[in-house]
Amino acid sequence: MNRAIIKAGLAGVLALGLALPAMAQRDPAYEAARENGSIGEKPDGYLGIVSGGDAQLQKLVSDINLKRKQVYTDRASAEGSTVEQFAFTAGCNTISRTRPGEKYQAPDGSWKTRDGSPPVRDARCP
């Protein structure tokens, strides 16, 4: 399973590396929500709402998560892993790429604000 996760992760970096910037460029609300801490990256590879969140923010997060799931599904199939394995590894990588001031969810479920040090990630992350 670990090999499949690592293999999926490498492909995930490429897929998300292309998908996430494109999403951010298309929707300035995404970038604003990341910057103000309304949303954050979760270990399962999806975005989460940190607190509150009106209907517009919920729709934004839902739309991005649907797009991510499609990428994960396509890539997992091509790489011979499960969607969950691929999404988990993508989550590990996405959390690693958060910038200081951005939110992410720690393995214990708490929301953290990234500082200058490495983020707290699941021990199973590659």
pLDDT at 52: 78
Q: What is the pLDDT along the chain (126 residues), one digit of tens a residue?
A: 555 545 545 555 454 554 554 454 468 999 999 999 999 999 999 999 998 789 999 999 999 999 999 999 999 999 999 999 999 999 999 999 999 999 999 999 999 999 999 999 999 998
Q: Which of 82, 101, 100, 90 lies closest to 126, judged by CA?
A: 90
SS (H, E, C) 32-66: HHHHCCCEEECCCCCEEECCCCCHHHHHHHHHHHH
Contact (CB, 8 A) for 33 and 22: no
pLDDT at 18: 45
Which pTM was predicted?
0.79
pLDDT at 25: 47
Q: How far, in Å, CA of 93 to CA of 85, rounded?
A: 13
Q: Which amino acid is at 32?
A: A
